[in-house]
């Protein structure tokens, strides 16, 4: 599949204008663009501008409010619940994460659960905001149901990702950002486009049998929790996905389990809505609420270099630290540009026409 | 392998007396016994009285202090770092968890990182203390190195378990308690005793090749992170285990990575000790710091019954909720007694002799 290169700046400018054309206030359009494009920079192509037209369609279907009144509806010194007023998750999440950071400044840690939001891009975009404050950042979200629990054939959970970002000293930060499934849905979509089979352990068919059919989700199949099957710990992946749902939706009053609203605007909303919108959960922990930042950073650098220099399997040069591949991709793409698939470029050109904008690669 | 049945009360009385014989103050001996026996009740036989002689040997080797001065050495309104003074983890952890709960009462959530401790039994014993307070409880600990990161042949992490316990209303609570490996070491030990092979994906040999040899850890092999291999998400299990290490040891000043002290007293201490003892991490979040307890419990009951009644795979009656098997085992064993393997009974009888105690099954 052929691609075209776009500079980060051009893509940023274009995306911001699309959000502004939807009616987003300038500051929110900028914030949403930062979040969305952080996915393209970090190589998580499924969650970047490839989804921009999807967000526009949600707005057209009146499932997204372009001028939300984002409010704290309950709080204590270390916690808050935020009502996103049906805003873009790309806009609501940064506000909620900032509240978590502010509370951590005041009482050591801050924890914010969010209701009435929408898809928030990549989890890392939010958790990593804590790093410059010498805090550990945590971000998770529920999502529409694609995953069957262990022993089930029903799609009951989203891929419910978790990100934990921890600062280091002279080493780059530790950034784990993972779907709680064997493989993220974006990985499956890549195989679909390439007409390739999925490894066993990624998906099951409608009857719960193992399958390598990458298109099985359209035929009643489901993604499998991290672990794949019971013998390999799928009950652990299921429990982690469930934990994300509890923190994001049960603590906030958002929709949960199979009733989380879908991302594609053409998919009807679930008939039942036990809560409001999609739920997220954010955390910030000040390092110096536990220990001197200097001592922590010294040990964290030692920890990281210990792992990076651990004995490797044949054919592998070094052991990776969570976040390494995405950071290296970000450095590369900031310099050389972001390659977009032709299908994504066509999609963006349609948006350009729709909103009377221009899209150039330079 | 044959077993003998012991009533919970008899086993409790005996275990408490063993801890008192080591010099533990009465209250601490009782607290340690509660934690240790919760493993036997819940069916986690690897972490219960089967380990009692191991704790005694650590005390004999002067690696455990029976009369620790457990102290908060740093704190903010929502956080604390506790120095366990080389006490039994079974004693230190309940103190630390109580501090987390107390802080949650005051500011909504409480987070406690612990240094200078020892093995703390099952993670669930501590996290579940939050439930009666209508709080979510979190518990994790690092442990001596048995696990190789993705692409590595070096044992760099412990099985580093995570427990999250969330209360419900009329339904029993959600209790996830998982090693961050494909299979816990206790599961591997069961196969060793039965002389059976391990499923592929649980362990690798010294060169990093897949193997089914359940004794491979004694030959330079390693346990694998949850996921098993890169294609099935082992980098996620590795990241989760790393997160536990960071929260438990990097935030507290405990030993980390391959330098965490071993449980068997005959294994020499690591030559390098970058921190103090073993590290734990505890959290408590008050439900009503986010939302009314009633609304939360109503939704949590709905969530649980939704999963329990989801469509099952052929041959499975119901979908399990994390914590179901352990709770059912606890109900059974409280009524019918705790079966101990002959080898464990022999071990306890030696302890009885050593401390001039009596051990009866009635």
pLDDT tens string A260-306? 999 999 999 999 999 999 999 999 999 999 999 999 999 999 999 99
CB within 8 Å: B246 and A77: no
For residue B360, name the pLDDT band (cuts at 50, 70, 90): confident
Mean pLDDT across B49-78 = 97
Mean pLDDT across B203-210 = 96
* Structure ipTM: 0.98
Rounded CA gap, A100 and A80, in Å?
8
pLDDT at A360: 80
CB within 8 Å: A300 and B153: no
A298-356 confidence digits (pLDDT tens): 999 999 999 999 999 999 999 999 999 999 999 999 999 999 999 999 999 999 999 99
pLDDT at B362: 59
Residues of B in contact with A247 (CB under 8 A): 136
Mean pLDDT across A33-58 = 97
Output the six-digit token pair for B1.
């392998």
A134-147 confidence digits (pLDDT tens): 999 999 999 999 99
Closest Cβ–Cβ partner in A156, A289, A316 for B79: A289
Mean pLDDT across B215-231 = 97
Find the angle CA(B133)-CA(B109)-CA(A110) to the nearest 5 degrees: 155
Output the six-digit token pair for B267.
């294994």
pLDDT(A1) > 90: no
CB within 8 Å: B232 and A274: no
| Number of Cβ atoms within 10 Å of the Cβ of B173 | 21
Tokens 């209701």 map to which residue? A115
Interface test with A, best of B288, B291, B304 (most A CBs within 10 A): B291
Q: Torsions phi, psi of A245, nearest 5?
A: -65, -45
The residue in chain A having the minimum alpha-carbon distance to the alpha carbon of residue B240 is A176
Mean pLDDT across B5-27 = 97
For residue A362, name the pLDDT band (cuts at 50, 70, 90): low
The residue in chain B having the minimum alpha-carbon distance to the alpha carbon of residue A317 is B151
Closest Cβ–Cβ partner in B183, B251, B320 for A233: B183
CB within 8 Å: B150 and A251: no
Mean pLDDT across B332-339 = 97
**B185 alpha carbon, distance to own chain's centre:** 12
Rounded CA gap, A203 and A205, in Å?
7
pLDDT at A190: 87
Q: What is the distance in angstroms between the Cα of B4 and the nearest Cα belonging to chain A?
A: 29
Q: What is the distance in angstroms between the Cα of A118 and the nearest Cα belonging to chain B?
A: 20
Residues of A in contact with B202 (CB under 8 A): 232
Closest Cβ–Cβ partner in B154, B289, B311 for A153: B311
Residues of A in contact with B324 (CB under 8 A): none
B245-276 confidence digits (pLDDT tens): 999 999 999 999 999 999 999 999 999 999 99
* Contact by Cβ (8 Å): A85, A116: yes
Q: What are the residues whose beta carbons fall under 8 Å from the beta carbon of B108, sequence distance 6 or more?
A: A76, A77, A78, A79, A111, B78, B285, B286, B289
Q: What is the distance in angstroms between the Cα of A207 and the nearest Cα belonging to chain B?
A: 7
**A214 alpha carbon, distance to own chain's centre:** 22
Rg of the Cα atoms in chain A: 20
């Amino acid at each position: 599949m052929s691609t075209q290169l776009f500079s980060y700046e051009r893509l940023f400018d274009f995306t911001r204008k699309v959000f502004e054309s939807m009616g987003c206030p300038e500051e929110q359009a900028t914030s949403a663009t930062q979040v969305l494009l952080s996915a393209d920079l970090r190589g998580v192509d499924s969650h970047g501008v490839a989804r921009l037209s999807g967000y526009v369609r949600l707005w057209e279907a009146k499932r997204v409010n372009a001028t939300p009144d984002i409010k704290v509806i309950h709080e204590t010194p270390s916690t808050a619940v935020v009502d996103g007023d049906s805003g873009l998750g790309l806009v609501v999440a940064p506000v909620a994460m900032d509240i978590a950071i502010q509370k951590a400044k005041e009482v050591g840690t801050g924890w914010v659960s969010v209701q009435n939001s929408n898809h928030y891009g990549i989890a890392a975009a939010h958790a990593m905001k804590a790093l410059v404050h010498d805090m550990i950042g945590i971000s998770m979200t529920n999502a529409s149901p694609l995953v069957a629990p262990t022993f089930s054939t029903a799609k009951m959970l989203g891929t419910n990702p978790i990100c934990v970002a921890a600062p280091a000293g002279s080493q780059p930060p530790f950034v784990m950002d993972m779907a709680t499934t064997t493989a993220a849905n974006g990985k499956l979509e890549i195989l679909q486009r390439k007409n390739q089979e999925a490894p066993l352990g990624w998906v099951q068919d409608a009857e719960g049998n193992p399958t390598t059919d990458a298109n099985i989700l359209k035929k009643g199949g489901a993604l499998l929790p991290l672990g794949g099957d019971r013998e390999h710990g799928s009950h652990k992946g299921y429990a982690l996905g469930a934990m994300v749902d509890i923190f994001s939706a049960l603590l906030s009053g958002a929709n949960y389990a199979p009733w989380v609203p879908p991302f594609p605007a053409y998919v009807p909303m679930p008939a039942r809505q036990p809560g409001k919108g999609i739920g997220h959960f954010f955390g910030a922990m000040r390092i110096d609420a536990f220990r001197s930042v200097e001592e922590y950073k010294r040990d964290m650098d030692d920890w990281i270099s210990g792992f990076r220099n651990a004995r490797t399997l044949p054919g592998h040069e070094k052991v990776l630290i969570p976040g390494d591949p995405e950071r290296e991709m970000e450095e590369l793409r900031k310099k050389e540009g972001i390659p977009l698939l032709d299908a994504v470029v066509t999609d963006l050109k349609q948006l350009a026409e729709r909103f009377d904008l221009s899209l150039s690669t330079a």
